[in-house]
Structure 1
Amino acid sequence: MKTIDDFYLNVEESIKGTFLALKDIILKQDKDITHVLKYGMPFFCYKGKMFCYLWTDKKDKQPYIGIVEGKHFDESFLIQDKRSRMKIMMLNSNEDLPLEQIESTIHKAINLYKSGIIRIKNA
């Protein structure tokens, strides 16, 4: 069985550092965030409810953060494409991460759950 650590060990070297930095950034945003492997990718949950994940774009091989409830976001840097619920934040593994953008997006996602717009089990 594959573990979350195996994911990071086996990810392409060119984006491994970006994924590891994103993991640390996301986990630092709230004490109720947990980190799990679902569908073969790292997901981050807030009080057990999935709210974002890390993945790589098939075309340009660049990393992105997927926001599960992205349909509630209006930020121009989030891309919906043909997704009905999720939006993604594309990143460039050769550039510095846009820390403020990432942190504000993560906080906005968490606030959806805290506000009750998105229901949390046993909350």
Structure 2
Amino acid sequence: MKITDEYIYRQPEKFRSILLHLISVFEREIPELDLLFKWGIPYFYYKKRMFCYLAPNHKKGFVDAGFARGFQLVGNQDYLVGEKRNTVKSLRYYNLEDIDNAILVDVIKEAAVLYK
């Protein structure tokens, strides 16, 4: 079993479900992504460059999907969180039911265009 899988399956149920759902959407939309374990969290790489991390925050109760080039994204600004970060903007999910797949897919596709 890969270290990313071990990390995900050790998460409490709420976080595990969110992580597994996010991973399935990312991999469906961009099959070329590589999911690695970097800086203690799952991190997607696209074309060998940092693309998006998935970071559970147990204290505050959410999973952050942080896009490495988030400040270059133009669409979906009402949903992206930038707070005190220079380059990363993220989609933040407190529950599995909070995930709007249409917005998630739109952000993933826009972010991928930045890597062409």
TM-score by length of 2: 0.89
Per-residue CA distance 1:24-46 (angstroms, 9 max, x = gap): 11011123211111011011111
- Residue 99 of structure 1 aligns with an amino acid whose one-letter code is N
Equivalent residues in 2 for 1:89-108 (5 A)? Answer: 89-108=91-110
Identical-pair percentage: 27
Q: CA deviation at 1:57?
A: 3.3
Answer whether contact 2:66 2:91 (CA < 8 A) is retained.
yes
> Runs (4+) of structure 1 moved beyond 4 Å?
none
Task: Name the stretch that deviates more: 100-109 or 48-57.
Answer: 48-57
SS of residue paired to 1:88? strand
Answer whether contact 2:33 2:46 (CA < 8 A) is retained.
yes
Per-residue CA distance 1:52-111 (angstroms, 9 max, x = gap): 011123552111210111111232211111100101111121524200100010111110
The answer to whether residue 113 in structure 2 is matched with residue 111 in structure 1 is yes
- Shift in alpha-carbon separation, 1:30–1:94, aligned structure 2, 3 A: closer
Structure of greater Rg: 1
2:80 pairs, out of 72, 78, 81, with 78
Task: Name the stretch that deviates more: 8-17 or 82-91.
Answer: 8-17
Q: Which runs of 5+ in 1 are unaligned?
A: 115-123
Answer whether contact 2:61 2:94 (CA < 8 A) is retained.
no
2-side partners of 1:81 and 1:96: how far apart?
Answer: 20
TM-score by length of 1: 0.84
SS of residue paired to 1:50? strand
Q: Which runs of 5+ in 2 are unaligned?
A: none
Give RMSD over aligned pairs: 1.6
Task: Find the counterpart in structure 2 of residue 87 from structure 1.
Answer: 89
Task: Find the counterpart in structure 1 of residue 9 from structure 2.
Answer: 9
Aligned residues: 113
1-side partners of 2:67 and 2:4: how far apart?
Answer: 19
Answer whether contact 2:17 2:96 (CA < 8 A) is retained.
no
